[in-house]
Amino acid sequence: MTTLVSTEPVLRASGIEKSYRRGVWPARRTVPVLRGADLALRAGEVVGLVGENGSGKSTLMKVLVGALRPDAGSVTVHGRLGHCPQEPVVYERLTCDEHFELFGRAYRMTVDAERAARRDLYRALGFERYTGTRADRLSGGTLAKLNLGLALLADPDVLLLDEPYAGFDWDTYLRFWDLVAHRRAAGRAVLVISHFVADEERFDRVVALRDGRTAPR
């Protein structure tokens, strides 16, 4: 892990532009979604990203993790990234345990470190009962726990979470915020896409995406 001066962002995005193409020729057109969005995340900071449906929050997050190439702009990251996508990306035939094993290997974790992290995540999110259940047999909420658990597994320096608790029950929702508080105290940076005004007090600051640009709120 890189040692940083505390004021230097662990993630910085500047001037991000992204358009999607819609329709088929000859009615094909380009729809701009991001028009110069900027964002900086510092260690130990929990930031909310808000904006109406279709404003480009998920698009921006995909650009930040490198899953989507922007048309313009730059992203710099110090350290490891974890991403919890809005739509869980899982292998339907693999069990929860098998997912953690696979991701642990991809993150080059030792077997012991992966098992310890996995055990903590099962307990913290309360889905120990499903260790041996295939992903395609999980309920929506448990699938969301697996999706989040995989993002948290390697304890990334920068956590990017796209509506991580949409399917959670109240108890799990509270456990989620406990997990975030622990990561924050450990100096991790966390960006959470949220729709709930009630969450706003849980963030150090909130960034709003509107007309393709970001502004403090």
Ligand X SMILES: Nc1ncnc2c1ncn2[C@@H]1O[C@H](COP(=O)(O)OP(=O)(O)OP(=O)(O)O)[C@@H](O)[C@H]1O
Binding residues for ligand X, rule: CB under 6 A, are 20, 22, 33, 51, 53-59, 86
- Give the nearest distance from C-beta 31 to ligand X in angstroms: 7
Query: From the CB of 115, what's the least distance to Mg ion, in Å?
Result: 33
For Mg ion, which is the closer residue by CB, 58 or 142? 58
Neighbours of 14 (CB within 10 A): 14
Cα dihedral 50, 15, 33, 63 sign = negative
- Residue 81 and residue 155 in contact, taking contact as beta carbons nearer than 8 Å: no
Residue type, 143: L
- In the complex, least distance from residue 3 CB atom to Mg ion, rounded to whole angstroms: 34
Determine if residue 200 is left, alpha or beta; phi over 0 gives left, psi from -120 to 50 gives alpha, anything else beta.
alpha
- The answer to whether 19 contacts Mg ion (rule: CB under 5 A) is no
Residue 214, H or E segment: strand 213-216
Nearer to Mg ion, 19 or 86 (CB): 86
131 touches Mg ion (CB under 5 A): no
147 binds, among Mg ion, ligand X, none (CB under 5 to 8 A by kind): none
Among ligand X, Mg ion, none, partner that 142 touches (CB below 5 to 8 angstroms by kind): none
C-beta closer to ligand X: residue 152 or 209: 209
Measured from the CB atom, the residue of 16 and 153 that comes closer to ligand X is 16
User: What is the size of the binding site for Mg ion (CB under 5 A)?
Assistant: 3
Using CA atoms, how far residue 208 sits from 52, 74, 149, 194, in Å, is 9, 19, 26, 10
Nearer to Mg ion, 87 or 112 (CB): 87
**Helix pair 170-185, 140-152: axis angle to 10 deg:** 10
81-84 sheet: strands from edge to edge: 81-84, 158-162, 189-193, 46-50, 205-210, 213-216
Distances (CA, A) of 206 to 62, 99, 132, 215: 19, 32, 38, 9
> Which of 18, 56, 58, 127 touches Mg ion by CB under 5 A?
58
Nearer to ligand X, 57 or 145 (CB): 57
Which positions from 69 through 108 interact with Mg ion, judged by CB under 5 A? 86
Interacting residue ranges for Mg ion, rule: CB under 5 A: 57-58, 86
